[in-house]
């Protein structure tokens, strides 16, 4: 009778021992901590006055404007990957452009493409030149 309970305890003791081993192991840490490069932007984006993708209007005209600007940008092979991934936010025909681009030329080219799209009333160019 005394040996039966011991047989049930052995798996439990092994499980506890294994879980302790897993808990004490840690992933190797890098000696040089790297700060994320977008922390300041994340803080800025929490400001209620800053336009984010969530501010995109859902009406058909604004969605079409955004789509046409995106197509014009992605069709231009001279633009960098960052430039092709800028945020385009349209509300009542007003387009806000945000994100990093490689140069002043890319910034101006994207703004020009946005202004050429039918239905655009104005463009708020908040593009930043990445360092």
pLDDT score recorded for residue 130: 87
Q: Is residue 81 part of a domain?
A: yes
| DSSP state letter for 30 | P
CA 4 to chain CA centroid, nearest Å: 58
pLDDT digits (tens, 9 = 90+) for 88-110: 999 999 999 999 999 999 999 99
State the total domains in the chain.
1
User: pTM of the predicted model, to two decimals?
Assistant: 0.63
- Quick check: 62 and 92 in contact, CB under 8 A? yes
Instruction: Identify the CATH number of the domain in which residue 83 sits.
Output: 3.30.1340.30
Q: Are β-strands 122-129 and 94-101 bridged in parallel, bridged antiparallel, or unpaired?
A: parallel
Task: Please give the structure tokens belonging to residue 82.
Answer: 């960052």
The answer to whether position 25 is within a domain reads no
- What is the domain range of residue 82? 62-131
pLDDT band for position 14 (50/70/90)?
low
Residue 117, in any domain of the structure: yes
46 within a domain of the structure (yes/no): no
Is 54 a member of any domain? no
Q: Are 102 and 69 in contact (CB under 8 A)?
A: no
> Looking at the domain assignment, is residue 38 inside a domain?
no
CA distance readout (Å), 98 to 5, 42, 80, 127: 67, 13, 15, 5
């Amino acid at each position: 009778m005394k040996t039966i309970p011991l047989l049930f305890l052995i798996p439990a003791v092994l499980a506890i021992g294994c879980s302790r081993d897993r808990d004490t192991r840690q992933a190797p840490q890098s000696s040089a901590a790297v700060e994320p490069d977008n922390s300041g932007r994340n803080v800025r984006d929490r400001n209620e006055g800053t336009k984010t993708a969530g501010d995109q209007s859902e009406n058909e005209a604004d969605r079409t404007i955004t789509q046409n600007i995106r197509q014009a940008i992605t069709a231009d092979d001279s633009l960098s990957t960052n430039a092709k991934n800028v945020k385009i936010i349209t509300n009542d025909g007003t387009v806000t452009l945000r994100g990093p681009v490689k140069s002043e030329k890319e910034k101006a080219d994207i703004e020009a493409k946005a202004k050429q799209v039918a239905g655009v009333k104005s463009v708020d160019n908040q593009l930043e030149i990445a360092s």
